[in-house]
Structure 1
């Protein structure tokens, strides 16, 4: 199935409250890998609570579509994007 923004938005919405690991590409050779919980789902973005940082980060669905952010569900490691 082709990935679209609507498809990604629905997947994230279905897994609200789930624990995920994410890998975020932050510019040249900077990769951030952390675990968090999907807390909120909005029309243009979603938020994760990162326990290790005690903070919230947000990503757009476009980040997932373009693979700037890669999400994996824990513990089954089912890839969302």
Structure 2
């Protein structure tokens, strides 16, 4: 679990370093705040994915949750 934290922060920093000059954003404060926000968001999604892999370890449970999560309630009569 602890391997992901430096990897997420490093890869998100690399993304921000490449992406921000392309947008023309040169403010250091904006870059640091957006990097922190982006890194924490990616870390949350990574840890949530690992939690779901741990909780849904059997194929039957994964299939059931997948079917239940893909129900479109707007078209149910």
TM-score, length-scaled by structure 2: 0.30
Q: Looking at secondary structure, tell me which structure has more strand per residue.
A: 1
Q: Looking at secondary structure, tell me which structure has more helix per residue.
A: 2
Larger Rg, first or second structure (1 or 2) = 2
TM-score, length-scaled by structure 1: 0.29
